[in-house]
Structure 1
Amino acid sequence: LTNNAFGHMAGDRLLKKVAQTMQTISRSDDIIARIGGDEFVILLPQTEIQEAKELAKRINTALSHEHLEAGQISISSGWAVKTTADEEITEVFKAAENKMYQYKISERNSTRNEAIQFIMKTLYEKLPREQQHSERVSNISGLIGAAMGMNKEEINELKTAGALHDIGKIAIGNEILDKTGELSDFEWLEIRRHPEISFSILSSLNDYAPLANIILVHHERYDGTGYPKGLSAEQIPLPARIIAIADAFDAMTYGRPYKEPLTTEAAIREIVAGKSTQFDPAIADIFLSVLAENNYCL
C-alpha cells in the first residue's frame, strides 16, 4: 500500500524504520531477519511466551509513535515458543504466523480505513481543490444512482467510489497536476496513470476491491476510445459509467489548472454532444433530468 500510494522510496524508508526499531528494542542475542517484502521474524533464544508477547507489544508501541510520509506505522505481530526438543521449528514459525494473521484480521477494518483516510487527507493537503471535487462527484453520482432506482447499499458504494475516484493522484507530481499551461504528451500519460494507481492502492485492501474495479475504468468511454482498457458500452461497470458523467460535468463547470471552467449551459451542451461517444446516453439523460430537478445547481 505504501509503495503504491507514496512510492518505493517511501516504502524502503518504512521498512528501515521498522528494522531499526526492532533492533533497538530487541536483545543483543536476538536474531532479526527480513523474510518477505514486508515481513520480519525475530528469533528469541531462551524466551518464555510472555516475554515474546511483551517484546512484540513494545515494538508495536514504539512504532505507533513514529510518523513518516506514509503516516503512522502499524504492524501485525504473532508469537510462539518451542517448548520441546523434538518440536519442529517450522511448526513454531507456522503457529506464530497464524497468530499474526488472526491479529491482522481482527484489526483489519479499522487499520485499512485509517490508511485510506490518511491517503485522502494527504491528497487534499497536496491538492485542496480535490476535496471539493471528490465530494461533488460523490454527491452527483449518488443523485444519479437514486434516480436510476439503486438501493441504499448500491448508492452508498457508488458514492464511496465517487469520493475515492482520484485517490491515485497521490502518486502524480504536483508540477503536473498544478500546471496551468498546456500539458505535454508525457504529462498526459502521467495523469492517465491515476486510475491504475488508484486500482493498485484499493485492490491491496480486500474490503475496497469492488471499488477498485469501478475506479479503474471511470475514464473509459462509451465508444471504447477511453483508458486504460478500451472498454465500451455495457463492458464498463454501471457505477463507472455514472461516475464518468459526474466527474466530467464537475471538471467542466469548475475547471482545471490547464482549462477555464465552462458555464452550466456550455457543460450541458458538452454532455449532450458526448452521448453515445463519451457517455452512456441513457445515464446522460437521467443526469440532465437530475440537474433540472436541482435547478441546474449541483
Structure 2
Amino acid sequence: MEYNIFKLLVDNIPQPIWIKDIDLKFVYVNEEYENIHKGVNKKFIGLKDEEIFDGAINNECYRYCNLVISSLKPITEECYLGGIHRKITIIPLINNNGEIEAIAGIYVNLDIINEKDKIIEEQENILKVVMETLPGMVFYKDKDGKYVYVNKEFDEFYNREGIGKSIGKTNFDIHSSEELALKYTKEDNEVIKNKQSICVQTVVNSKNGEKIYTEAVKVPVIDKNNEAVGVVGLILDITEKKEAEEQLKHVSFTDILTGLYNRTYFEEKAKELLSEEYLPVGVIMGDANGLKLVNDTLGHNEGDELLKLIAQVLSDVCNAGQLIFRTGGDEYVILIPNTTDYECENIIKRIFKQCENYKHDLIDVSVSLGASLTDNINKSIYDALKEAEDKVYRQKLLQKNSFNSSVMYSLQAGLQTKSLETEEHTDRVVNYCLIIGERLSLPMSVMDELTIVAKLHDIGKIGISEEILLKEGNLTDEEFEVVKTHTEKGYRIVKASNQLDNIAKGVLTHHERWDGNGYPLKLSREGIPLIARIVSIADAYDSMTNNHLYKKVFNKDDAIEELQRCSGKQFDPDIVRIFTEYLSETQVCV
C-alpha cells in the first residue's frame, strides 16, 4: 500500500526521478524519466547506466553517484543529458542506522527555465516600454507605502519639484504638504483593505504656485494567496480638461445679458444649499421697477440696460459668498448661506442705497425686494422664495408707476369718491403708522404690510351705500351694523390676492379692541394682529385731530389724553405709550 502511494506521488511529479542501489543499479524510475529516454528501448530496473547509455553519459553519472555514496551528502550539478541542459540533484537515502541504502536523482530541464526566464525578461521589457510611453505618471507601491517602481514621467515631475529619485520613499518623503501625503496614504490603504480599484481627483500645488488638477486610478496588486501586496497607480494631469469644464460650466450657468448666474444654476444651488451645514439660508427676491415702462417707451435695448444696471447694483453690494441669480425677465434672487433676518434686511437696505448711485435716461434705477429664511431641511429654498416673492408683491403695491400700485390707488380713489375718506387722511394715517413701526423696530417687510393696511383699512366701505356713509346725524343700530360689515367686505376685497393674506387680516381686524369688545371677531390683546393694533390707534388719532363733518375736533393734547384714557381698553397700552411719547416730543401740532 505504501509503495503504491509512493509510486502514485512520484509518477505525477513532472520532473524525471530515479532511484539506484549502492551498486548503481536502477531500482525505480518514474514515468517522466522513462518519457525522456523513450529511444533507449530497454527496461531500467536492475540495469546499470553503462548497460543502457553511451560512454559519455555513463561516465558523468557514475562520477556524480560515487561522489554522493562516498560523501553521504547531496550534490547539485549542471550537465547536458541527451542533448538537453539539465540541473541534476542526487541525494543519499540513509536508514535509521546511518547506513546508505540507495541514492535518488531528480533532473530539472534548464532549457525550459531559461526559455521562461527569457520570456519573462521580454515581457518585463515590453511592460517597461509601455509604462514609459503611457500618457501619465505610473507607480507601484508596496503595502508599506514605499515606491517600488515609478516610470520616467513620474520621476521627471518630482525631480522638477526637487525631490530626486522616488524609489524607496513614501508619500511623506516626496510631498511637502502633510495633508496631501495623508490623503494619498488613506487612498492607498483603502485600495489594499478593500482590494478594489478607486478613481480620485486631487489638486496639487506645484513649486511655482500653479494649481495642477490630477486624476488617479489606483488598483490593488493581488498575490496568489489573494492578498493585496501593493498598489499600482496611473496619474493623469487633467488641468486643461478641468479648465475647459469650468469654462463650459460658467457658460451654461451664466445669464448672457447680465453676467449673473442663471435659473439653471439657481436650481442646482437650491438643492445643494438645503443642508445643515449651510442653514439658515437667506433668500432675497428682487423685481426690477419700471422695466415695462422703459421697454414700451425707449425699446428693449434700453430695458436691457436697466437690467444690467440693477445687476451691477446687486454685485456691488453682495460679497463672494452671496450668490446672485437672474431667474427671469425682471426677477433676481440672492442666496445667502449661514445668515440671519437682520443680515438679509441690511443687504436690502444697502441695495436701495446703492441704486441711488446709478442713473437711467428715463427712470430711477430701483428694485422691489423681499427676504425670507429657510432654517430647517423641511423648508425648501422654494418655500422661502415664495414668501420673499409675496413680500415683493406687497412692496410693488407701494411703488409709483407700477401696475400693482395703480390697482390699489384706483380702489382708494373709489373709496374717497364714495365716502368722506380723503387722500390727506390716508397719508397722515400711513405716516403715523410708520412712525410707530420704526419705534417698534419692525422689519421692512412688516413696514410694507403696515403701509398697505393703513392705505386700505377702510376699503370695504366701497361696498356700503352712500346713503349710510354720508348720512347726517346719528346712525340707527341697523345702519351701524351695516357699517361694521366694511371690515369683512374689505377682507374679501384684499383676500382676492393670495399674496396679501396678512394685509387682509389687518383690514379685517382693525376695529377689534384690546378688551375684546370690538368687531367682527371679538379678538383681544395680542390675539389682534400687531398691524391692526397700530392702524387702529393712528386712525383714531387722525380722526380726532382733523376736521370732520359730523364730529368734534380735538387738539393734540386732548387727543393724547383720549388715547391714554382708552389705553388698555380699546387700544394696546404699549403702542399708545410709544405713540403718545412721540406726539409729546413733537413741537408742531400734528
Does TM, normalized by the shorter one, top 0.5? yes
1:151 to 2:443 alignment: yes
Helix, strand or coil: the match of 1:206? Answer: coil
The residue correspondences of 1:53-72 to structure 2 (distance < 5 A) are none
- Counterpart among 504, 514, 519 of residue 227 in structure 1: 519
1:178 and 1:257 in contact (8 A); partners too: no
SS in 2 for 1:146: helix
Query: Is this contact kept in 2: 1:224–1:232, CA < 8 A?
Result: yes
**What is the one-letter code of the residue matched to 1:131?**
E
Higher RCO (Cα < 8 Å, 6 or more apart) = 1
1:154-197, CA deviations, whole angstroms, 9 ceiling, x for partnerless residues? 22221121111111111112222222211111121111111111
Matches within 5 A, 1:9-48: none
Amino acid at match of 1:273: R
Greater mean deviation of Cα atoms: 264-273 or 118-127: 118-127
Q: Which residue of 2 is the match for residue 215 of structure 1?
A: 507
1:296 Cα deviation after fit: 5.5
Consecutive unaligned residues of structure 2, counting only runs of 5 or more, are 1-395, 397-401
* 1:240 lines up with 2:521 in the alignment: no
The offset of 1:111, in angstroms, is 6.0
| 1:172 paired residue among 464, 472, 496 | 464
Partner residue in 2 for 1:140: 432
What letter matches 1:267 in structure 2? A
Q: Would the aligned equivalents of 2:512 and 2:528 in 1 still touch at CA under 8 Å?
A: yes
SS of aligned partner of 2:550: coil
C-alpha displacement of 1:228? 0.4
Paired positions, count: 191
Spell out, residue by residue over 1:223-275, the C-alpha distance to the aligned partner (whole angstroms, 9 max, x if none): 00000000000100111111110011111112543322222222111101101
Q: Secondary structure at the match of 1:207?
A: coil
Q: In structure 1, what is the equivalent of residue 480 of structure 2?
A: 188
SS at match of 1:258: coil
Q: Is the 8 A contact 1:134 1:165 kept in 2?
A: no
State the percentage of identical aligned residues.
38
Matched letter for residue 186 of structure 1? E
- Give me the whole-angstrom Cα distance separating, in 2, the residues matched to 1:119 and 1:229: 25
- The letter for the 2-side match of 1:203 is K
The structure with more radius of gyration = 2
In structure 2, do the counterparts of structure 1 residues 267 and 233 end up closer, same or farther at CA, with 3 Å as the change threshold?
Answer: same
- Tell me the SS of whatever aligns to 1:188: helix
User: How far apart are the structure 1 equivalents of 2:548 and 2:500?
Assistant: 28
Instruction: State TM-score, norm by structure 2.
Output: 0.31
Alpha-carbon offset, residue 282 of structure 1: 0.7
Paired residue type of 2:580: L
Match of 2:552? 260
1:203 maps onto 2:495 in alignment: yes
SS of residue in 1 equivalent to 2:579: helix
TM-score by length of 1: 0.60
Cα deviation code 1:125-165 (max 9, x no counterpart):
23364322221111101100101111222222211211111
Moved more, 277-286 or 252-261: 252-261
Residue 205 of structure 1 deviates from its aligned partner by: 1.1
Distance in 1 (alpha carbons) for counterparts of 2:420 and 2:407:
19
Q: Equivalent residue for 1:161? A: 453
Partners of 1:283 and 1:224 in 2: CA distance = 17
